[in-house]
Amino acid sequence: MSILVDTNTRVLVQGMTGKEGGFQTERCIDFGTNVVAGVTPGRGGTTHLDRPVYDSVKQAVNEQGANVSLIFVPAAFATDAIFEAADGGVDLIVCITDGIPTLDMSKISAYLAKKNVRMIGPNCPGLTSVADKAKVGIIPGNIHKPGSVGVVSRSGTLTYEAVGQLSALGIGQSTCVGVGGDPIIGMRHKDILELFEEDDQTESVVLIGEIGGTAEQEAAEYIKEHMTKPVTAFIAGATAPPGRRMGHAGAIITGSAATAESKKQALLDAGCHISDSPGDIGITVQKMLG
C-alpha cells in the first residue's frame, strides 16, 4: 500500500478551470489519478477536461464521492477554499498555493484539527503514490520509478532532485510527499514518518529538511524512539546567514535549534544516514541499502 492516496482516491480540483490548475490537472490524469470533478464558483454545470465542474465542494463530494481536494486557487481566495474543502466532506486537502498569510494558516490549522481533516501544504508540490498511480499536485510524474523508498521533503525542488537521483540509480519510490516550506503547514515530517512506518510498501525513507523551525528535531525524536526503517536525511541551508530568509517563508534561522548543524546533529543522533550535499542524496541511499 501507499500512504494518503492510491488508485481508489477520488480527487476534486478547486481551480481546475484556471490556466495552471487545468495544466496540472491534465498531468495528474495522465499519471493515472482518478480526478472526478472540478470546482469553480459560477462554472457549475459545465465540463472541463471531460470532468464535471461544480459550484461548490459539497456538491462535488455528494455527487462524485470525492474524498481529496487539490487546490490551485490564488492566495487571495485560498483560505476560503481550504475552509470550504474542510466543510465539504473531504478527508485530505492538498494546497499548492503560495502566499497564504501566516495568520490565516494559524486559523486554518486549528479549524482542520477540529474537523479531523488532514492537509498537505500550503506552498508545496503535493504528493505522488508511485506504484498506486495517484499524483495529487505538481511533482513531475516522469521522474518516478516504483519501489520501496518513501520521500518526505520541505522543498519542492529537492523533492524532484532526490526522486530523480533515486530513479537514475534504479531505486524506486513508494510515496513522495512535499509538505511545504511555510512556517505553519498541515502535515509535518513527523506525521508522514508515522505513516511510512506503518506502510508495508515502504522499507526506507529519505527525509529532506531545511533551516528554520524545529520540524526536523521533532522528526528526529520520532525516528529515535519509534522508527524501525532506515532513514537518509539531508538538511538544506548550511551556509545561510542567521536572520535572513532563504526562499521559503519558514527557512529563516531564528535560534540555535533552527540551524542546519543543529538539525543534522539531531538526525545523526537518531541514527539517520546523513547526506552532506544535495547531489549525494541518491548515492547515500544506495550505500545505506547496500
Q: Which residues are catalytic?
A: 248
Instruction: Tell me whether residue 22 is exposed, middle or buried, using C-beta atoms within 10 angstroms of its C-beta: 0 to 12, 13 to 18, 19 or more.
Output: middle
- For Cα atoms 158, 274, 259, give the angle at the middle one, nearest 5 degrees: 75
Number of Cβ within 10 Å of residue 6's Cβ equals: 15
Annotate 69-108 with b (16+ C-beta within 10 A) or e (fewer): bbbbbeeeebbebbbbbbebbbebbbbbbbebeeebbeeb
Task: Return the residue matching grid coordinates 547531489.
Answer: 279
DSSP 249: T
Between CA 133 and CA 120 the distance in angstroms is 18
Position 232, amino acid: T
Evaluate whether 100 touches 79 at the Cβ level (below 8 Å). Answer: yes
Element (H or E) spanning 263, and its range?
Answer: helix 260-269
